[in-house]
Structure 1
Amino acid sequence: MPKQRNTALETLLIEFGYTHEQLADEVNRIALDEFGTSANCTDRHVRRWIAGEVRWPWSRYLRPLQEIFGRAPEVMGFVPRSNVRNTVTAALSAPAVEHHAVQRRTFIAGALITVLGTDEAPQRGRLGMADVDRIQGTVTRLDAHFNRLGGGALVEVATDYLARLQRALDHCTFGERVERALMRAVADVAACAGWSAHDCGEYAKAAQFRNEALQAALLARDPVAVTRAWSDLAAQAEHAGRAVEAARINKAALSERHLRTQPLISALLHARLADCLAQIDDRSGMGRQLAAAERAYDRADPEGAPSWLAFLTPAELSGLGAIAHQSAGQYARAETQTVQALDLLNSRFTRNRAYYTVLLAELQLTQGDIEKAAATVADVPASDVASSRITARLDRVAKAAQP
């Protein structure tokens, strides 16, 4: 059989931030922990797996790889020999995966800190706007990573960077303009940490970060940052089943005068308010808010948007409309809009593609089309995202779609 490059494993290395040497070291560490002896894995082994020279590694390598990436061997791109197709997968018990989950996320976070540059925050001396620009560049990279892959290890990375910025506020000197910019950066990082924690199902931690973001935004006296914080708190209330409270917060945010010059944020608030109204059976109100979101988006200039709003594209607007129609019980309309969202979605938004593909399968199941839902589930790029919330929904719909 000719060699075929293992692009799935190669993608996982990029996603989790491993070099060939780092992955080999982690395989050896887990093997030593589980088996009492190192697997003697080297970067040469990793290169051979990626090149397709080794289609199915020995179990002393495969079991640690499963624990590192949390994927089945086939999902990692390995091709089983007929006599071992089920043995290794069965041997990896759930408690073993759970045992190493925290260690794995911490290891990935350490690599991400270097990749995203969050370890370069200033800690002493006088700060100027050049320092603020470098900090804003790091915030942009944090937002881009979340939009591409989701939460996962980004929770630890954002938490660490938040602590570094707060130490800079405590120990550095600066003028009022720089101080306000630093507080705005703290609000942005806390908001990113909040969504990352939410994506991992850590809702209490997400609430803590979002309150911190609101406090920092108020201290920065930045109306856009304040509106973002209120919007995130509304999303939190909605997720907790408090749709009336969420609608109230969204309406209050939309009443702010500065939003007249912020149509992109207005579009997001209108779309989220539409879902809240759908949940409380106000379908006419839902329709008005979705129309308002479209009008606001038509006035917006996405090119000049802050990095945290990069996800709000025509595809996302269609997806938010699908979510509202789902809440209103209009499943056929929701399915149509979800398909449209997936057609429009840019390839860089891997997390959102997984999210809306799972949503499409859920809508198909709700309408009784089990075969179509099963086919949709098979297309979910679950191995490419770091969102336990999405993968949990995927697991549920996959089980429900089984014949």
Structure 2
Amino acid sequence: MKEFGFSRRKLAEEVNKISERIFGRPGAATDRHVRRWLSGQARWPNERYLLPLVEIFDRPPEAMGFVPRGRSSNRMPVPPPMTPGTGEGDDPVKRRLFVFASAAMTVALALGLDETPTVGRLTLTDVARADSKIGRMVFHFNSVGGGALFEVSMGYLDRLRTALDGCTYGPSVEQALHSAISNLCSSAGWAAHDAGQPGQARVLFADALQSALLAGDKRGQARAWSNLSMQARLDGRTRGALRVNRAALDTRQARQDPRIAALLHSRLAIGHARAGDHPAAARSILAAQRAHDRFDTASPAPPWLRFLDGAEISGLAAIAHQAMGQLTEAELATAQALQMLGKGMRRNRAYYGVQLAELQVAQGNLQSAERTASQIDTSALNSQRIADRLATVHRAIAA
């Protein structure tokens, strides 16, 4: 509430307004209800309040501190269907949203993706709303993974591209729209990996770079280059990944923004490690840590970069150590990443939990690996990529 600037009364009013949009009748929340949620007296609110709260704060219920009462509340309720005859149910994006509404804690629930115009005059305000929705998808990705987000984000990408072709707008709006599409393509690419669609990720990362170039968006270009470098590494093209990463570090944005520099140096360290250049990998790890020390904590990072903190830099350093065969150092860095991760970073917590178990298996410490694997919570996570790696760990322990 402090983060979003809500008083108890204002939050109740917002809940009622969104409840009316979802359920077709006004909500009845008061500041008394909010006090009960804050105190923990109401551990799992009625769906008329819970669904609006998920939309307002862009977090699943557990991340807001709510506790399921039992089987009846261990899944998010699904919103009621659209009223027949309104025409709303015919919209392909909205239909896709509700098809996937039961997955990953009702991913992108009531984000209002269908509100972005696809005909008529498009304004900067419309594009700003689209950017806000894309940022909210990033919060969901960090919380529950991208498995279900992939379909939702692809549907929204179709809508933005339709707006690009079907609307009228001025040059500044066109530039902003290309930038929004670039951001969405980059986010959708990561969601594609979680959904087990690496081929789609390659296409989306390339599309992100193209849109960022059309927008003249230097930060979007740096992000796209970083993702393309990571993709090249996953495809086994280590030398290509290094070339792309160096090119990204040479951009003005990377030189001016320590957050982008830290991310690129961290990924460059992994590339050097896999290429067998251990001194260069060590230098890149140190450069990433120094860039992290220069973060301007008073200036908030854009949504897509908020995952990058000391925990993430430690986790990426661990991957570089692992590639160099330094398994003890990799295990220590991974454990440090897990200790530093924020509560809302549930996807990364599972990801680095699996990484820690993998390192323990590789060192023959099966008891520790089994204990680590048993503590990984994937109950509300939607990531095929993480699930497959965890299954491999369990098979290795069993064997």
TM-score w.r.t. the length of structure 2 is: 0.74
Alignment length (residue pairs)? 318
Q: Using a 3 Å threshold, how does the CA distance of structure 1 residues 104 and 401 change in structure 2: closer, same or farther? A: farther
* Aligned 8 A contact 2:104 2:382 in 1: no
Counterpart for residue 178 of structure 2: 183
The answer as to 2:267 corresponding to 1:245 is: no
* Mapped contact 1:106–1:156 kept (Cα < 8 A): no
Relative distance call for 1:51 and 1:176 in structure 2 (3 A) is closer
Q: What is the match of residue 400 of structure 1?
A: 396
CA contact (8 A) 2:104 2:381 kept: no
The 3-state SS of whatever aligns with 1:381 is: coil
Distance (Å, rounded) in 1 between the aligned partners of 2:391 and 2:286: 34
The change in CA–CA distance for 1:104 and 1:332 in structure 2 (over 3 A counts) is farther
Paired position in structure 2 for 1:72: none
Unaligned residue ranges in structure 1 (runs of 5+): 18-45, 53-64, 66-102
After superposition, the CA RMSD in angstroms is: 2.7
Equivalent-residue separation in structure 1 for 2:153 and 2:200 (angstroms): 12
Are residue 362 (structure 1) and residue 358 (structure 2) matched? yes
Match of 2:265 among 262, 270, 279: 270
Amino acid aligned to 1:300: F
Local SS of the residue matching 2:205: helix
Q: Residue 309 of structure 1 aligns to which amino acid in structure 2? A: L
Residue 359 to residue 112, structure 1, CA distance change in 2 (3 Å): closer
Structure 2 vs 1, CA of residues 182 and 343 (structure 1 numbering), >3 Å: closer, same or farther?
same
- The 2-side partners of 1:199 and 1:181 are apart by 28
Residues 358, 111 of structure 1: alpha-carbon distance in 2 compared, 3 angstrom cutoff: closer
1:50 aligned to 2:85?
no
More helix by share: 1
Q: CA deviation at 1:109?
A: 8.8
Residues 357, 372 of structure 2: 8 Å contact kept: yes
Report if aligned partners of 1:121, 1:161 keep a CA contact under 8 Å in 2: no
- 8 Å Cα contact 1:118-1:157 kept in structure 2: no
1:129-157 deviation per Cα after TM superposition (whole angstroms, max 9, x unaligned) = 22122111101101111111111111111
Deviation at 1:355, TM superposition (A): 0.4
Aligned to 1:55: none
Does structure 2 retain, via aligned residues, the 8 Å contact 1:271–1:289?
Answer: yes
- Equivalent in 262, 270, 283 of residue 278 of structure 2: 283
| Structure 2 residue corresponding to 1:380, chosen from 338, 363, 376 | 376
Give the alignment partner of residue 139 of structure 2, picking from 136, 144, 151: 144
How far residue 319 of structure 1 moved from its aligned partner, in angstroms, is 0.5
Aligned counterpart, 2:346: 350
Q: How does 1:109-258 map to 2 (within 5 A)?
A: 112-258=107-253
Change (3 A) 1:328 1:47: closer
Matches of 2:330 and 2:235, distance apart in 1: 22
* Gap change, CA 1:109 and 1:278, over 3 Å in 2: closer
Please name the residue that 2:302 is paired with: 306
1:298-341 per-residue CA deviation (whole Å, 9 max, x = no partner) reads: 11225421110111011111101111101111000000011100
- The offset of 1:209, in angstroms, is 1.0
Distance (Å, rounded) in 1 between the aligned partners of 2:311 and 2:336: 7
Letter in 2 for 1:382: T
SS at match of 1:382: coil
Task: Tell me, in whole angstroms, the C-alpha distance in 1 between the residues paired with 2:323 and 2:99.
Answer: 36
Q: Deviations over 1:31-58 (max 9, x none)?
A: xxxxxxxxxxxxxxx9873379xxxxxx
Q: Distance in 2 between matches of 1:109 and 1:167?
A: 27
Give the letter aligned to residue 380 of structure 1. I
Distance 1:110 1:353 in 2: 17
Match of 1:338 among 328, 334, 340: 334
Residue 119 of structure 1 and its aligned partner are, at CA, apart by 2.1
Q: Which amino acid aligns with 1:174?
A: Y
Secondary structure of the structure 1 residue equivalent to 2:121: coil
Q: Which residue type is aligned with residue 373 of structure 1?
A: A
Counterpart of 1:316? Answer: 312
3-state SS of 2:398 partner: coil
Residues 157-206 of structure 1: per-residue CA shift (max 9 Å, x gap) = 11011111111111111111111010000001111111100122211111
Percent of residue pairs identical:
45
Q: Which residue of 2 aligns with 1:60?
A: none
CA distance in 2, matches of 1:220, 1:49: 48
Read off the aligned partner of 2:380 and give its amino acid letter.
D
Please tell me whether the aligned partners of residues 105 and 380 of structure 2 are also in contact (alpha carbons under 8 angstroms). Answer: no
Distance 1:317 1:334 in 2: 12
- Taking structure 1 as the reference length, the TM-score comes to 0.74
CA distance in 2, matches of 1:332, 1:164: 48
Any idea what the Cα deviations from partners look like across 1:6-61, whole Å, max 9, x if unmatched?
A: 99xx9xx98xx9xxxxxxxxxxxxxxxxxxxxxxxxxxxx9873379xxxxxxxxx
Q: Which has the larger displacement, 134-143 or 299-308?
A: 299-308
Query: Equivalents in 2 of 1:241, 1:328: separation in Å?
Result: 16
Once residues 356 and 202 of structure 2 are traced to their aligned partners in structure 1, the CA distance between those partners, rounded to angstroms, is 28
The verdict on how the C-alpha distance between 1:111 and 1:119 changes in structure 2, with shifts beyond 3 A counting, is farther
Structure 2: give runs of 5+ residues left out of the alignment. Answer: 1-41, 55-67, 76-97
Aligned to 2:291: 296
Please give the alpha-carbon distance, in whole angstroms, between the structure 2 residues aligned to 1:291 and 1:110. 38
The one-letter code of the counterpart of 2:359 is L
